[in-house]
Structure 1
């Protein structure tokens, strides 16, 4: 799972993005307009930028108004149960728009494509094309098939595809922060998760292409990149060598972090997501070594109970997780830590729920994504376990988790009050163009009055006067 929102927000699937702002002109125009809407994690938003790049190279232009689009895509998410209904409702809106624009092509991309291809294509006839995460290069051909009167589908997974040679088109960009996908797929078989089935096996991008993308972004004025992967800590790249040559040393995630950090000290580095079984002291020491690697780690716990973690096939137990938290606090004092928590997983007892609450008290997370368990078709949990916790108990446990996290989030933010924080100005506050907004190293959002001496993209020193449960409030100081 990938994320970066506050505890009181819905999961990233509630976000949606349109192809609004682009950073390259299309190839010779074919006169057709593209609209993309994305749901889910940052990986989906990153994939939409790849799709836009491929189609711009084939002459498409983009639009923010789907009613005037010739091709409309939804990039989908399968993490949560309500995602399917959300997408279906949106497709029906597009179906209505299609009555006024009969030539419009509607397609579904991403994680939901494989599981629902027959339903969307044949049963409900809501879409013309279905494309999985590894088949985006085939989009021009698939669109051509629809132009010829056929419905088209490609949901084949790949062991090699990383899109390393494609320069993503930055959509909805502030020109300051950007995502860089460093790997695709997942080899972890968490019993509640569909990602290994929708995105395939892990494969890591050539580090040189990642460093080049980071350098290009910096040269274009970007000042923060987030390295993305389902499990960034398992990044491992070994270059192919000719027969008879000595194999090269594999590039680890720690190595990659250092290389990207060395692009420029003014380029701030974040990453998501880490897996507790894989995050090493080496990574932590690298984070401590480079001032421009943000001191923030998303470390999903899911449950505080070792027995439940075993049922989830998380491959670590409570003690292992606490060991990793202790290492983070020892090696990177003051590091921000966020997490994912699932309440009401199959057979979870009240005592095991209390273990989750006690884990929260131990770590005191800065942020958290918190969910009541919902069974996803095709997962190991759906095949092996009964979803036997009543909904009212799931929701009550979730309410207790959310309440505790609100207390911890406020407590963590209060630690910054009375201190000066280095903030990257990312834009204006959502509430007022008289205030700037940006985050500190620990990913805490701060708002502060506009100062004419500084502009978006500058680093500033902000004295924190107060905070809410979600936001630091301060002022720029010299």
Structure 2
């Protein structure tokens, strides 16, 4: 069986897609390698939201093309959002690409690989024929129709996943679980609704079963994923097979979400889903979710978080701009005042909640006044961190056609750096508020930064010369040195502390440790285990 190299660009949804693809292909006998030079199949799971991620993917395709020109027998596949957005045009512009597979069709990937392998072996095969090398959902996706969504084989792909705690991604005992696919928001700067299609929600029983299987495999923490995760809503009895099995269904329109509490046993809301996972899978120590849409986040979700201790009090709440004028041009659907009202509700119900955000600087027509309003908002909200990006026009978005990219790049860079410095100040205050408190840390990795052992000049083992060295005595044990480990609190605050030695540090990875916080920085807590 051939060897596969799989590289992932972009968001957590892509990371989960790649995990599922790898598990599916491994179950069919494919071997995976971390070295692209050792692989005969190169798969790139791509992102079209950020220009940097896209440029990296194009660079990889260029390198693959060079290898093919040298005569190597390679199969090159482009997965994800770039495949969906560019479609067969990518095959024309990049002839080294053998197959395309959009994010809504990953269940077809093994057949695509098999078909591309067979057709490439046929003498005289015309690479201009693209039909057999493409599986795309498109804006008019079969996933967008209610009946077609119920026939979604991607549900089987999610449920059939295999969690391997020995792989590097699994050692921290954390896993992603998808609850929705697609997006209905159509922000003018974003291509996701066009590449991932309309919102489709998984049946709650399938989600809970996946969480249960992950817990049985050793997972301590799951992160529920959705482009707008709090829009999850499943109406029972609509998408059901003849055998009575519930299937994925298209989500309701935006008018269905007005922060009201749904008192209907036939509907599973996001709050009810969180509560069920918490109550029915007690083996899970932590339940997270992202990303949240600020306007439609109901108090019922906050109440579930407040009353169920294993639901992490962490919210990723992208705001994008502090200017109402810019928010309207972005088609975000809320005002600064509505965003701040929501933040106040969060902190009233969850005083120890940690909040992260997203911001875009240099959106078309952004003025100095607009930018100052963004700075004011940042000073008002206790963001633990912000993901800050310079606007870049993305192919396939509304903004690229509707608005000229009229903010000079040097202005974008200056504003970006200004917000990064401001966020460092805000983040430092948030992190400092945890000093003196105790919290639980899920250890993820060894940082390789260690505290140096204390050595006295009066130590008889010291030798003087061109440098200073320590000579162990004849009966002396080899001195050990503390090894620093890093993990995250329930509020997603990165925390470091020392283990007494490397063996202990390695044993702590994937465990939850009680830590007393003794110091902090803009992005970091420092503590000691208790």
TM-score when scaled to structure 2?
A: 0.80
Deviates further, 56-65 or 176-185: 56-65
In structure 1, the partner of 2:34 is 64
- What secondary structure, in the 3-state scheme, does the structure 2 residue paired with 1:329 have? helix
In structure 2, the partner of 1:349 is 367
- What secondary structure, in the 3-state scheme, does the structure 1 residue paired with 2:154 have? coil
Distance in 1 between residues matched to 2:435 and 2:69, nearest whole Å: 56
Give the counterpart of 1:256 among 273, 277, 289: 273
Distance in 2 between residues matched to 1:471 and 1:97, nearest whole Å: 43
Distance in 2 between residues matched to 1:418 and 1:46, nearest whole Å: 36
In structure 1, the partner of 2:474 is none
Distance in 2 between residues matched to 1:123 and 1:64, nearest whole Å: 27
2:89 aligned with 1:94: no
8 Å contact kept, 1:52–1:168: no
8 Å contact kept, 1:162–1:183: no
Residues paired across the two proteins, number: 445
- What secondary structure, in the 3-state scheme, does the structure 2 residue paired with 1:173 have? coil
Structure 1 residue 291: Cα displacement: 0.8
Structure 1 residue 266: Cα displacement: 4.6
Structure 1 residue 397: Cα displacement: 1.4
Higher RCO (CA 8 Å, separation ≥ 6 residues): 1
* Distance of aligned partners of 1:361 and 1:450 in 2 relative to their CA distance in 1, 3 Å threshold: same
Structure 2: runs of 5 or more not aligned: 121-126, 245-263, 451-481
Distance in 1 between residues matched to 2:216 and 2:448, nearest whole Å: 27
8 Å contact kept, 2:190–2:397: yes
1:263-278 → structure 2 map (5 Å cutoff): 263-264=281-282, 266-278=284-296
8 Å contact kept, 1:418–1:463: yes
- What secondary structure, in the 3-state scheme, does the structure 1 residue paired with 2:288 have? strand
Structure 1 residue 59: Cα displacement: 2.4
Structure 1 residue 370: Cα displacement: 0.3
Deviates further, 106-115 or 425-434: 425-434
2:462 aligned with 1:462: no
Structure 1 residue 424: Cα displacement: 1.8
Distance in 2 between residues matched to 1:201 and 1:332, nearest whole Å: 32
1:13-412 → structure 2 map (5 Å cutoff): 31-98=1-68, 102-147=72-117, 148-149=119-120, 152-156=133-137, 157=141, 158-159=143-144, 160=149, 161=152, 163-166=154-157, 167-170=160-163, 172-175=168-171, 176-240=173-237, 249-262=266-279, 263-264=281-282, 266-412=284-430
What RMSD in Å do the two structures reach over aligned CA positions?
2.1
Q: Deviations over 1:416-443 (max 9, x none)?
A: 1122111122332353581222111211
In structure 2, the partner of 1:442 is 491
In structure 2, the partner of 1:4 is none
Q: Deviations over 1:33-84 (max 9, x none)?
A: 2221000000001011121232223321212222222211000001112332
Structure 1 residue 283: Cα displacement: 0.6
1:418-437 → structure 2 map (5 Å cutoff): 418-431=436-449, 434-437=483-486
Distance in 1 between residues matched to 2:358 and 2:290, nearest whole Å: 12
Distance in 2 between residues matched to 1:217 and 1:137, nearest whole Å: 20
Structure 1: runs of 5 or more not aligned: 1-30
* Distance of aligned partners of 1:248 and 1:288 in 2 relative to their CA distance in 1, 3 Å threshold: closer
TM-score when scaled to structure 1?
A: 0.88
Structure 1 residue 165: Cα displacement: 2.0
Q: Deviations over 1:263-322 (max 9, x none)?
A: 116520111000011111111111111111111100000011111111110010011001
* Distance of aligned partners of 1:302 and 1:71 in 2 relative to their CA distance in 1, 3 Å threshold: same
* Distance of aligned partners of 1:465 and 1:356 in 2 relative to their CA distance in 1, 3 Å threshold: same
* Distance of aligned partners of 1:162 and 1:402 in 2 relative to their CA distance in 1, 3 Å threshold: farther
- What secondary structure, in the 3-state scheme, does the structure 2 residue paired with 1:193 have? coil
8 Å contact kept, 1:238–1:248: no
- What secondary structure, in the 3-state scheme, does the structure 1 residue paired with 2:295 have? coil
- What secondary structure, in the 3-state scheme, does the structure 1 residue paired with 2:110 have? helix
Deviates further, 353-362 or 132-141: 132-141
* Distance of aligned partners of 1:162 and 1:386 in 2 relative to their CA distance in 1, 3 Å threshold: farther
8 Å contact kept, 1:162–1:205: no
* Distance of aligned partners of 1:348 and 1:43 in 2 relative to their CA distance in 1, 3 Å threshold: same
Distance in 1 between residues matched to 2:156 and 2:449, nearest whole Å: 39
In structure 2, the partner of 1:475 is 528
- What secondary structure, in the 3-state scheme, does the structure 2 residue paired with 1:277 have? helix
* Distance of aligned partners of 1:399 and 1:115 in 2 relative to their CA distance in 1, 3 Å threshold: same
